[in-house]
A and B are shown apart, each in its own frame.
Chain A
Amino acid sequence: MLGLRDIKKQNNPQKFDFEIALAGNPNVGKSTVFNALTGLKQHTGNWSGKTVTNAIGYYKFREYTLKVVDLPGTYSLSSNSDEEVISNDYIESGSASCIIVVVDATNLERNLNYVLQLLSKTQKVVLCLNMYDEAKSKGISIDIDELSLQLGVPVVCTSATKGHGLNELKKSSFDIASGKTKTYKTINLTKSDDYSLRIEQIYNQCTNICSSCIKSNNEEHSSNKNRIDKIMTNKITGLPIMLILLCLIFWITIVGANFISEYLSLLFNYIKGVLYSLFTTFNLNDVISDFLINGVFTTLSWVVAVMLPPMAIFFPLFSLLEDSGYLPRIAFNLDSCFYKVGAHGKQSLTMAMGFGCNSCGVIGCRIIDSQREKNIAIITNSFIPCNGKLPTLIAITSILLTNIVCGFLKTIVTALILLLLILLAVGITLLTSKLLSMTILKGQKSSFMLELPPYRKPQFIKTVVYSLKDRAWFVLLRAVVVAIPAGAVIWCMANLNINNISLLNYATTFLDPIGKFFGLDGVILIALLLGFPANETVIPIMLMAYSSSGTMIEYNSITQLNNILTSNGWTTIRAICFLLICMFHFPCSTTCLSIYKECKSIKLTALSMVIPTVIGLVMCLLVNMIGTIFI
């Protein structure tokens, strides 16, 4: 029972009086209830030994402190998946003094399957009938007292997004936890070896309970919502809407991030100046000062300035899209493409997440149930360029277009080329998925099942705030853990000299012939290798190597970058090859670590690094060969 040990031994063990758990189906508003109860006093992590998210928070009721554990949302409490095993173990351990089972009032019959399974294991339960307002507006009327009688537990109606019913929920759960309210066992489930038979009989009981508790059920209202879905998923309007929405999100991310990045860069430059004068005042050794400022701090500031703004924009937008209920429709629409290559429709979503950050995309692959299809999604995730690679791609594309277009037209053409590159990435992803399905990851195609929750208006401010908090923490952590050692190594390579030539120079000269073979050069290769910790540092490393300056420098304009590159032998072909190898090479260190954590296989992690690199090199070789023949 590893999961339990993890909860009992926390980093900051806060004292609490009672432990409460939140359980229920996915898409019932469990997270909303959790957030409403605990506010920002929560901590998200993983269940020990498993790759399932676990959230723990605290709230106060009168003078008591209650600890809330958010169990994974599952449709059942058998032991068919990691999530179910965790929930089961936890419930049977008796750690919780009260379990709040959150139920979607608009969908009571299906939710009762979970509730009845829960009630057969423990009676210390409060039924939280969430989305109650929504049910009422749909004409669904539930007899609360009758439901409570039949289940033997208290029932509290809530509308967590509006904040209704939370106080009653706190009181009810406290009463159960403290023993003030007693519940009684009313549910008996038959034990059968045939799983389908067992669930069938549970559903028979659910139907009976519902027929005596649900007074009226207006089905006509739902046909209006179906109309929206018919527009979102039909042949003519479905694809354009999807493309426009995704392009819009990408565009807002790129433009907004650019804007914020510039200001962050100014801030970091200012801090750099302050550090410089500080070190000079304290007479710190020149070499150490240079190491700290130009090595460590510069890398740190690059990583934060480049990664934080796009992630701060993209992921909140993505979360809003998720809360609105639209995301499953994307998987629904695109499933055919993925099914034909042996993958899963949900891979479209993990690819979209990979655009924000490859590491997050890899972790997001948890939404795919079949291990084989999950592995395909994980290995191909890094084909989609992440936010860290975007400034690099945009800068080099801009340079390629320098003598061809200019001004406003240039920004449009740059955007179109970027779109083309992303479409190329998608194409390569599908092709690679097909190849993997036919060779290394051969296996059965899973049966697909996806719930399409009703469209709901997301809680804008709350979603954005929670997402920002998570993302900012992630980037800053990565900046410290990855950027600092990376900066140290890069500085050493550039400033440690043997016979007056830096290690960096030795490396670039050594790799140059190999680079030239693929249409690149030694500097590009070393920049990609040293950029393994963080892709954002590739161009600064290149500039450092070209200018032999010993420090990573930024470019102040595209013209300046263009000059440096052309004076170092860059041609159109090399720029194109660079774009290709930048997109198709081994993922960054954070992503590789995530890949290992998610599939626990060195073989798969190695494949995830080798496959993109091989594809990139092959493409470069082809472009180089074709280019040298025709130009």
Chain B
Amino acid sequence: MIVLTRQTLHALVDAEATRHGRPNPGLLLRRGMVAMSPAGQAGAAGDTAGRQKEKVIGKVVDLPCSPEYAAAYARWRRAVGDDARFSRTELEVDGRLYIGLVRDNPLETGVAVNHTYGMPLIPGSSIKGVVRAAAMRWLKDRADANAFLFGRGGEGPDETEAGGVVFHDAWWVPEGEGKPFVPEVVTPHHRDYYNLGSAHATDFDDPVPAPQIAVRGRFLFVVEGEGGWRELAMRLLTLALTECGVGGKTTSGYGRFRQVDRQA
């Protein structure tokens, strides 16, 4: 078994995870693997690396929303409550969302989370990118509108322009003891063919399940700016997220949203 945590922290990691009962999910995702079996081998308990990852993901999935996050969300909701400056909408994930999926960690999966509270978060930059891509298709004859909404780059200060509306990070909407994280799995069937190119893909290859983590639930989307432009941006945002989706694996159906009846 390969240890992934310094010896001085061994007693702390597992005890901390259970003592308070509500560890930060983001921290658990990044540092929750205390040990890992080498590739192709099983640990003392007979666990392979895949099974060990499943256990860590299972701990994260079981975490409910903390009261601290619910309070922070309420503060955010009040801060963006001015209808003269902000437009808001709640959209629900239609299925599952992969946002911030990374492979550069021992779990080989991940989620974009709020650093302080560990709850899922859709970065404003991602939202703006999806909306801009959609607007470039739907408003392709209105370069002036796109330039105002999203800004434009250029050679010098006279050619560059910041966008006229702000796309804020989307916060996950806490509801009671709701849990935002869900386990997922991808199962490559021809690992050597896809990763190494060293073999042909055949029917004799073994599937290799790889545990992943995704998100469900509702998010609060907020756009800030002047009246008409803000409303246009919010309409584009709603269309882009319901028709195109955001995050990873949108071609497989992940990352799409649906509108909900409740007013944000």
**A and B from one assembly?**
no
Chain A residues near B (Cβ < 8 Å): none
Chain B residues near A (Cβ < 8 Å): none
